[in-house]
Structure 1
Amino acid sequence: MPAFGKHGIVGGYVPVRSDWTIEQDWAAYTPAEHATWKTLFDRQIALMPGRACQAYLDGLRTLPIGADTIPDFARLSDALMRRTGWQIVAVPGMVPNEVFFDHLANRRFPAGQFIRQPHELDYLQEPDVFHDVFGHVPMLTNPVMADFMQAYGEGGKRAEKLGVLDRLARLYWYTVEFGLVEEAGQIRIFGAGILSSFSETTFALDSASPNRLGFDLRRVMRTLYRIDEFQESYFVLPSIDSLLDFARTDFAPVYDGLAAQPDIAASQVLGTDRVFTRGTGAYHQALNA
């Protein structure tokens, strides 16, 4: 499972370009690196039926993302540009907030160019090409997600100036990275942090430990999250289309209304929550024992 937030920075890296982009240099990937991709892809794709949301599955089918080789960002960008006007740019890992937001605001998704080592299949400190491409990119074929991500980039710039980025980052975390959604009476996954994680794909839907709660914007923006473990609570959107509401939201009044509100623990269930599953908390209790 990944242990990172997308808002961050590569430790000690000095960028050559102001936008932190680098060449993917697809031809430089080794057979061993392509083999690691295949291992990750094959075991993850087997989990997708009945777990991934339809928008993700549709996107994966329509993009040049397969099992045998690490995808070529240029080919991905060509396919995405035709559908939603997005492109993929290679970066060395996590980038500064302002760089990240500027890329999103201009419909550029910054994707890690490197791939994890074979001993890191289940745990990674930074987002690599598998997390970013397998996890995130298929959802960018969906027009609603495409517009939401651009709006998030624009909103991130404003939130940073207002000193409330922690609030907005929680919206990203509990949707883009670790979001669940209702589909035809079932709960499905659309968050990239889950979809790219072999262990969290099953934990998020099958484990009795976490809470699964109805999505409420202000509640989510008050809720803490785990960056180093499975989530203690997941939030369930009524539909992917509801992301469009957030893309159109004026967040200034929301920030003002939350200014005096305390944070909510990641494990907490409120009396006002719509509860799909009240978790036992057993997994995290065992960690703390």
Structure 2
Amino acid sequence: MFKEFHHAAADPLVPGWQAYVVDQGWGRFSSEDHETWDILYARQTRLLEGRIVRRFLDGLALVGLGGGGIPELARLNALLEPLSGWRCVAVAGLVPDEAFFAMLAARVFPIGNFIRTRAELDYLEEPDCFHDIYGHVPMLADRQVANAMQQFGQTGVEAIAAGQGDKVARLYWHTIEFGLVREEGELRILGAGLASSFGEAAKSLEDPQIERRRFTPQSAVATPYRHDAMQPLYLVADSMEAVVEALDGPLP
């Protein structure tokens, strides 16, 4: 599982986010790369049934990620943009904070232009296109979440400029990447880091040794996280509406 998102140390000389966009190079993916995507997609989708928020499953059906190997971003955007106004762009690796949040503010999501090897099915340090597309894009098909994510991008840009980058990174981590939420009385996965992890998805819900605390925006910005191992702690939101409100509102 990935323990980082497209986020790197702040740099006062960072150029505009467009400078980080590269060609996806879809034609260079091998048949094994496409088979790896199909293996990951099939087993993760089976695992998540009954374990993830309904909006994710609804979005997964709308953006058509299953079958046919790694999605070509142009074709993916043709489905995603009419739904929520978001589009995906390829990047070569981690994007600095300022550029990452500026992308979100522009309704643009960065997608790594590579996929893990067969030997790395269960763990990869840097997020690849499976994490980025499978983990994030289904939620971006939901208009309410999509609007909140854009606002959160603007909040992130302003927070970094004000020297509060740590706060916005923690709120992102404890919701969009590794958040849990209660839905219809059940504990469900929200975060993309969990949605795309075969090992951590079930563990986050079922391991009795893991600590789970109630999410509030205040608790999220005050709670450090691990980026180099499975999480020992998750924050649990009362509802999807509570998460949307937190992303759409001011930074605590």
Q: TM-score range by the shorter chain?
A: over 0.9
- Distance in 2, Cα, partners of 1:70 & 1:209: 36
Deviation at 1:198?
Answer: 0.3
- Contact 2:6 2:96 (8 Å CA) reproduced: no
Equivalence map 1:50-199=2 (5 Å): 50-199=50-199
Q: Give structure 1 regions of 4+ aligned residues with deviation exceeding 4 angstroms.
A: none
| Distance of 1:234 and 1:145 partners within structure 2 | 20
Q: Please tell me whether the aligned partners of residues 147 and 247 of structure 1 are also in contact (alpha carbons under 8 angstroms).
A: no
Cα pair 1:57 1:138 within 8 Å, conserved: yes
SS of residue in 2 equivalent to 1:88: strand
Structure number with higher relative contact order (C-alpha < 8 Å, ≥ 6 residues apart): 2
Task: Report the Cα distance in structure 1 between the residues aligned to 2:62 and 2:111, rounded to whole angstroms.
Answer: 19
* Deviation at residue 18 of structure 1 after TM alignment: 4.6
Task: Tell me by how many angstroms 1:250 deviates.
Answer: 2.8
Q: Which residue of the partner structure matches residue 48 of structure 2?
A: 48
Output the CA distance in 1 between the equivalents of 2:202 and 2:211: 14
Whether contact under 8 Å (2:22, 2:91) holds in the other structure is: yes
> How many residue pairs align between the two structures?
246
Q: Distance in 1 between matches of 2:216 and 2:144?
A: 18
Letter in 2 for 1:89: V
Structure 1 unmatched runs, 5+: 10-14, 255-289
Q: Which residue in 2 is equivalent to 1:243?
A: 243
Separation in 1, partners of 2:64, 2:189: 21
- Structure 2 CA distance for aligned equivalents of residues 18 and 150 of structure 1: 17
Distance 1:19 1:78 in 2: 23
Q: Per-residue CA shift, 1:257-284, capped at 9, x if unaligned? A: xxxxxxxxxxxxxxxxxxxxxxxxxxxx
Match of 1:217 in 2: 217
> Identity of counterpart residues, as a percentage?
42
Tell me by how many angstroms 1:88 deviates: 0.6
- Deviation by residue 1:24-55 (Cα, 9 ceiling, x = unmatched): 12222110100111121121111011101100
1:158 CA drift (Å) = 1.0
Q: Secondary structure at the match of 2:234?
A: strand
1:85 aligned partner, one-letter code: G
Letter in 2 for 1:104: L
- In structure 2, the residue corresponding to 1:226 is in which secondary structure? coil
CA apart distance, 1:247: 3.8
Which protein is richer in helix relative to its size? 2
1:242 deviates by: 2.1
What CA distance in whole angstroms lies between the structure 1 residues aligned with 2:205 and 2:19? 37
* Structure whose alpha-carbon radius of gyration is higher: 1
Quick one: distance in 2 between partners of 1:108 and 1:248? 17
Asked whether the 8 Å contact 1:145–1:240 carries over to 2, the reply is no
| In 2: Cα distance, 1:173 partner to 1:52 partner | 17
TM-score (normalizing by structure 1): 0.81
The one-letter amino acid paired with 2:66 is G
The question of whether the paired residues in 1 share the 8 Å contact of 2:183 and 2:240 is answered with no
Q: Contact 2:6 / 2:110 at 8 angstroms: preserved in 1?
A: no
Change (3 A) 1:29 1:185: same
Aligned-pair distance for 1:122? 1.4
Cα deviations by residue, 1:188-233 (Å, 9 ceiling, x for unpaired)? 1110000100000111011112112211111111001110111111
Deviation at 1:148, TM superposition (A): 1.9
